Structure 1
Amino acid sequence: MTEHNTTATLPAIAGERTEVPVRQVQFSAIDTSPAAPSASGAMDMLMDVSLRVSVVLGRAQMLVKDVLALQHGSVVELDHMAGEPVDVLVNDRLIARGEVVVIEDKFGIRITEIVSPTARPPQDE
């Protein structure tokens, strides 16, 4: 790093002008080529990243008036049939399909199909 010294006059708070040193800085070139982490090292860095996993039992399209009419006990018909595979989404991207199972008193999913990247619907940008 090299410096070039000059001076500049700046206004002071009380109205006086003050000479202050000004230096122009020139940085030496840096190596911008990325250091390639090993494949296992790159994956290790991602292992504790949290992802949102959602399971979609089905969807329905409704008019506003029908949504406003919903009340306790209302039933909404979904587009999936009972027993059909459900969609497993990771961060809103379809990655698998599976069947609903009961584990003690909670629902779970048994994965029955991994959706290939080429068969996935395009992601909305």
Structure 2
Amino acid sequence: MSDINESDLFNGDDLNFDDLQLEQFEETPQLDSSMSHRSLSFFKKIPVTVTLEVSSTEISLGELMKAGEGSVIELDKLNGEPLDVKVNGSLMGHAEVVVINEKYGLRLIDVVESPLNTMDG
């Protein structure tokens, strides 16, 4: 049948946690300010994509297939409403469109609360 002896099986009574030093697991490592600054400077160099989203709407595939050159699809946002600013697809805040040196830009109106806003730097 089986070559396993009863003495080979795990026995919970054999565990001894009396000598375990739990204090070593409870302490949070403290970073000095130079290490913290280096860590943040690394993350500040990561490129992200900033998108200004004008508006959107939901239509059926049939309606979309009927659309052609010159067709108008009405969007959800009203004229003059602030536009959504997204960073890598996540809402960062709201802005209005501006023109700078013949290029489009955005002027932030508000920024939603985010842990990134609290970073020093």
User: 2:60 — aligned with what?
Assistant: 63
**Which residue, out of 85, 92, 105, partners 2:82?**
85
Q: For structure 1, which runs of at least 5 residues remain unmatched after alignment?
A: 1-33, 119-125
User: 1:49 — aligned with what?
Assistant: 46
Cα deviation, 1:14-52, whole Å, max 9, x if unaligned, reads xxxxxxxxxxxxxxxxxxxx9x57111001112221101
User: 2:23 — aligned with what?
Assistant: none
Structure 2 counterpart SS, 1:45: helix
Structure 1 ranges of 4+ moved more than 3 A: none
Structure 2 counterpart SS, 1:43: helix
Q: For structure 2, which runs of at least 5 residues remain unmatched after alignment?
A: 1-28, 116-121
Equivalent-residue separation in structure 1 for 2:43 and 2:54 (angstroms): 29
Equivalent-residue separation in structure 2 for 1:70 and 1:103 (angstroms): 33
Relative contact order (alpha carbons < 8 A, sep ≥ 6): 1 or 2 greater?
2
Instruction: Give the aligned CA root-mean-square deviation in angstroms.
Output: 2.2
- Rg comparison, structure with higher value: 1
1:104–1:82 distance in 2 versus 1, CA, 3 Å: farther
Tell me whether 52-61 or 100-109 shows the greater mean CA deviation: 100-109
1:80–1:65 distance in 2 versus 1, CA, 3 Å: same
User: 1:117 — aligned with what?
Assistant: 114
Equivalent-residue separation in structure 2 for 1:110 and 1:60 (angstroms): 24
Scaled by the length of structure 1, what TM-score is found? 0.61
**Which residue, out of 33, 36, 40, partners 2:37?**
40
Choose between structure 1 and 2: higher strand proportion: 1
Equivalent-residue separation in structure 1 for 2:46 and 2:109 (angstroms): 25
Choose between structure 1 and 2: higher helix proportion: 2
1:95 and 2:96 aligned = no
* Counterpart residue type for residue 107 of structure 1: Y
Report how many residues are paired: 85
